[in-house]
Amino acid sequence: MAPNPSWRTITVVVDPQQKAHPALQKAAALAARCGARLTLLNTFVLPQPMADVARISAREIVNAALRDRRRLLEKLAAGLRRRGLKVSCVVEWDYPQHEAVVRHVLATRPDLLVAETAHHSRIARWILSNTDWELIRSCPCPLWLVRSGRLPKKPQLLVAVDPGHEQATRSRLDARLLEAARLLVDNIGGTIGIVHADDPRASRIDAVERLGRRHGIAPALRYVIPGETTLVLPAVVARAGTDILLMGAVSRSRLGQPFIGTTAERLIDRVECDVFVVKPVGYRSPVSRRRPRIPA
């Protein structure tokens, strides 16, 4: 299937109760450039009733929270509409959060999902299930994980490629990543580089060079460095002053269970830039479309 000429629908995950909204800032900037319709999405879990309001039902608590959060989202949307953007607001009670977001994506099929990410502590990395990691694994559309709201005038994009990887070749993953990078540059400007962590025993430098020439990547922006991906990519990101790192999430298998995005999960806390994740052709999210029922 041919790629879209531009993003037409963008969904951004927003917590209206926060003071800063970096993901919304970048999503709005992109929507303004490419003329996309923007959806502000907030999902939440049932608030716990307090002892002095024990007679209030769970459904009443949820409905009150829905109204309050929608009011806050609409305040954010009003400012964007004054700038000429087409904006809609969606608030949903659902859990867990990553499944709630993915269910919305499955139902509405946006061209891009934008969400905020932050560095995780060592305990969180080993114990907790973080929403951004789960989105890397289960979000079917391209995912832009945002560190800050600042969008440089000429952002530096770096695409992690692996042209010799069997699964990546079958799924056209490198091509999909470079198409996404080109869309970003067409809409927000900037330059595109490619990086590959090379194995000297089975070097793919020639394949990377061919890929770079085919996609018009300047020779000085083709990085082929021997070493482990989780070490090479952060080093090149820092050296190149990268603003957005684009990575594919390729299926792996462990004990018969599919795992997606293992490398992206390990890298997200080792780089300071935004991370943009693209799934391979044929990817299907494991998240069920069925939403939990609101307790009575």
Summarised one tens digit per residue, pLDDT across range 251-295 is 554 433 344 456 776 788 889 899 999 998 888 999 999 988 876
pLDDT at residue 22 above 90? yes
**Residue-level pLDDT at 170:** 54
pLDDT tens, position by position, 24-58: 999 999 999 999 999 999 999 866 554 445 567 77
pLDDT at residue 68 above 90? yes
Assign a CATH topology to domain 156-278.
Answer: Rossmann fold (3.40.50)
**Residue-level pLDDT at 165:** 63
Query: Is there a contact between 101 and 133 (Cβ–Cβ < 8 Å)?
Result: no
- Quote the pTM value: 0.89
**Residue-level pLDDT at 169:** 55
Assign a CATH topology to domain 9-146.
Answer: Rossmann fold (3.40.50)
Closest CA to 249 of 234, 233, 260: 260
Q: How far apart are CA 149 and CA 281, in angstroms?
A: 30
User: What is the pLDDT averaged over residues 53-71?
Assistant: 83
pLDDT tens, position by position, 84-108: 999 999 999 999 999 999 999 999 9
User: What is the pLDDT averaged over residues 160-172?
Assistant: 71
What residues contact 242, with CB distance under 8 A and at least 6 apart? Answer: 156, 157, 158, 193, 236, 271, 273
Domain ranges for the chain: 9-146, 156-278
Query: Is there a contact between 181 and 195 (Cβ–Cβ < 8 Å)?
Result: no
